[in-house]
Amino acid sequence: MPHIGAGMRISLGLAFISMTEAEMIMYAGQGLGYLIMLSWRAQRFEVLLAAIVLIGILNLTFDRVFRYFVEEKLLKWEKGIVK
């Protein structure tokens, strides 16, 4: 069962992308994907860019939090540092 943490991190990123894409496609009425599509149609590119940057920051934050709590605390055995 090697690299469980890496697989979980990739899945977290893909889930975040899928959620944003679903909001864009379905016009959910709320969310960052909806904000991107709304600002694209209204040609408010500063809002569009801000939403894209916010998605990147949120994804990076989720990845770092996941890496700290799951890989460092729960999956110590994977790195071979269990005492």
Cα distance between residue 9 and residue 63, in whole Å: 7
Record the pTM: 0.74
- Domain membership flag for residue 39: yes
pLDDT higher than 80, residue 4:
no
**Residue 50 is assigned to a structural domain of this protein:** yes
Q: What is the pLDDT of residues 9-62, one digit of tens each?
A: 889 889 988 988 888 888 778 888 889 999 999 999 999 999 999 999 999 999
Instruction: Give domain status of residue 4, yes or no.
Output: no
Domain coverage including residue 46: 26-76
Examine residue 9 and state whether it is found in any structural domain, yes or no: no
Q: 83 in a domain, yes or no?
A: no
Domain-located, residue 51: yes
What is the model's pLDDT at position 9? Answer: 85
**58 in a structural domain:** yes
Query: Of 47, 65, 43, 44, which is closest to residue 55 (Cα–Cα)?
Result: 47
Residues whose CB falls within 8 Å of the CB of residue 9, separated by 6 or more in sequence, listed in order: 63, 66, 67, 71
**The amino acid at 7:** G
Q: How many domains does the chain have?
A: 1
